[in-house]
Structure 1
Amino acid sequence: MADTSVLRDGLHFGEGPRRGPDGRLYYSDFYAGEVHALDLATGDDEVVVAFDGQPSGLGWLPDGSLLVVSMLDRTVRKLVGDELVVHADISDIATFHANDMLVDGEGRAYVGNFGFDLHGLIDEVGIPGLLEPGFDPLGAKLALVQPDGTAGVVAEDLKFPNGMALLPDPTGESESGNILVVAETVAFHLTSFSVDRNGSLQNRRVWADVKEAGIAPDGIAGDGDGVWVAPALQPAAFRVTEGGKITRKVETTQPCFAVAVVGDTLVCLTAPDSHPSVVKPERLGRIETYRL
């Protein structure tokens, strides 16, 4: 029995949930090519923008402009009126599909990418192959897009950099007072960096190893001194603190791929699988909620 309640179904594959400036939950539906805004109180759902592409990570510039990762052409788009225009081209940084994104309060966007054809590899070796001790996939670069759209590399050789969260630095040593936690999905751990005032990253370290718990960390969301983690391979969401301690588990109706914390509500985006052959032709994705 799941702990969550299903608020919305009929998605292909949901990604990038974020609380918007207006308090609604914004999310992407990959294969519908749509970005939605959902009122968690009423369940009212609006298509904010649709385009001939595949949206993923979301965020906002300080002026309120919505940023959207366009996966297939590896760009970050900005919503201007009813049109998504190119804000930054990261195709020379991302070596496969662009993916999740975190935009900080200054409008700087950290953008991950697959690094390699994950689903092609799964077709070849299966999920068990990803768990083999000698498995060492190609690394990917993490892009930093400045508010004016210029882009550069802030970290390299990340194993499928996925969800990200900013947490207070418990050591007080980082210039900004924050650390950036990045989910390295196929390394089965969370990595942290100290964040400088200009957004650059230092002091890379493993923040939490979650392989023994069977967690392939996908989307994450900050929650105090910890993060909620979507495990991708399990129908649940886990709250994890530094060192890998699991402090809470919330069971979902199907595997969870992305999470957000909106007020006192945990939001879980779930689907039966992440493989396009399963979720692209069907609408089996759900948005599930749990009152914390």
Structure 2
Amino acid sequence: MTTIATTVADGFHFLEAPRWRDSRLWFSDFYGHRVHSMRADGSDVRQEAHVPGQPSGLGWLPDGRLLIDSMRDRRVLRREPDGTLAVHADLADHATGYANDMVVDPHGRAFVGNFGFDLMAGAPLRPTALHRVDPDGRVTQVADDLWFPNGSVLTTDGTLLVVETFGNRVTAFTVTDDGDLVDRRTWARFGPLPDDPDVERALGELRIAGDGCCLDADGGLWIADATGQRLVRVVAGGTVTDEIHPGASVYACALGGDTGTTLFACAAPDFHADARAAAREARMLAVPVAVPAA
């Protein structure tokens, strides 16, 4: 269905990794090189961090310190109480592409994806690995053969869900007490793996080009379809229960607001780096939904 989405904030370059925390929406602006937060209505926008290496995934340690993926230098940064940024972990010798989205568990372990290839230069598509960053900064590879691991969530029963943008699927893992990933399985399949390593042609083979995602209280996974100009709610097995067509391309989403029933979505005309860096056309949209955040 086509749903009227409200623009709650605009004038950004390219928004990603929205997170609801402490009654505020936090998000990264790739080419503005900043992490911001704001109230649900878009007011009181604050700069939370300046990240020259281009910020992406966000998460928090148990003590409340913010973790930020710094994409281009493939690092995870940590914001200290005085606002300064420190290198929490260096993935340069591990990630084969830009660091991407991540999720942080209650123990402070971050699960970090990466592109796996040079997307913006038009390099051929290839799979990559997922890495765990422990609270002490140690980096461990915990999964491989992932096709552009992107948005990720952790369920209450200890399952990690990873949206694979070029994999046409969502992959699930059980997280052990030690932070290892076991019992790999396909949680939702939208279609076969693309046959063509050319990115543009591969995108045309995707039924859902899953980007950022968020989980609701009934176990539904909202996914931003990066090429379909829609937000889809998917349940285990791959059934799409709901679709929202906000009239714009969307790349990430988060549930939040006072009741947890506002679906925030990061919108932009496209994802091309040069075009987005040169313009301020990105917006944060808000759409009411029935089921609140998990």
Taking structure 1 as the reference length, the TM-score comes to 0.89
Q: Distance in 1 between matches of 2:168 and 2:272?
A: 19
Alignment equivalent of 2:213, drawn from 209, 217, 220: 220
1:118 to partner: Cα distance? 1.8
Structure 1 position 16 matched with structure 2 position 17:
yes
Contact 1:227 1:241 in 2 (8 A): yes
Q: Does 1:86 align with 2:64?
A: no
Structure 1 CA distance, aligned partners of 2:99 and 2:167?
A: 18
Residue-by-residue CA offset, 1:239-289 (whole Å, 9 max, x unaligned): 001111011111223111001111111110011111102211111111000
Paired with 1:213 and 1:3, the residues of 2 have a C-alpha distance of 26
Q: State the 1:221 CA deviation.
A: 0.6
Percentage of matched positions with identical amino acids: 42
Deviation at 1:2, TM superposition (A): 4.3
Aligned to 1:246: 240
Give unmatched runs, 5+ long, in structure 1: 125-136, 169-176
Q: How does 1:152-231 map to 2 (within 5 A)?
A: 152-168=140-156, 177-211=157-191, 214-223=207-216, 224-231=218-225
**What displacement does 1:87 show?**
0.3
1:218–1:91 Cα change, 3 Å? same
Deviates more, 1:187-196 or 1:27-36: 187-196
1:138 matched residue in structure 2: 126
Once the two structures are superposed, the pairs formed by residues 112-151 of structure 1 within 5 Å of their partners are 112-121=113-122, 137-151=125-139
Q: Give the TM-score normalised by structure 2.
A: 0.88
One-letter identity of the residue aligned with 1:44: D
Q: 2:112 aligns to what?
A: 111
Give every structure 1 segment of 4 or more consecutive aligned residues whose post-TM-superposition deviation is greater than 6 Å: none
Distance in 1 of aligned mates of 2:51 and 2:250: 25
Contact 1:210–1:216, Cα closer than 8 Å, also in 2: no
How big is the shift at 1:213? Answer: 7.6
Residue 100 of structure 1: aligned partner: 101
Distance in 1 (alpha carbons) for counterparts of 2:10 and 2:228: 19
Name the SS of the counterpart of 2:121 in structure 1: helix
| Structure 2 portions without partners, runs of 5+ | 192-204, 290-294
Kept after mapping to 2: 8 A contact 1:214/1:233: no
Equivalent pairs counted in the alignment come to 270
User: Displacement of 1:51 after TM fit?
Assistant: 3.1
How big is the shift at 1:195? 1.3
**Aligned residues: CA RMSD:** 1.6
CA–CA distance in structure 2, aligned partners of residues 65 and 18 of structure 1: 14
- 1:267 is matched with which residue: 254, 257, 264? 264
For 1:180, the aligned partner's letter is L
Equivalent-residue separation in structure 2 for 1:208 and 1:179 (angstroms): 14
Paired letter, 1:253: G
Which residue of the partner structure matches residue 71 of structure 1? 71
CA distance in 2, matches of 1:62, 1:166: 15
Alpha carbons of structure 1 residues 19 and 196: separation in structure 2 relative to 1, 3 Å: same
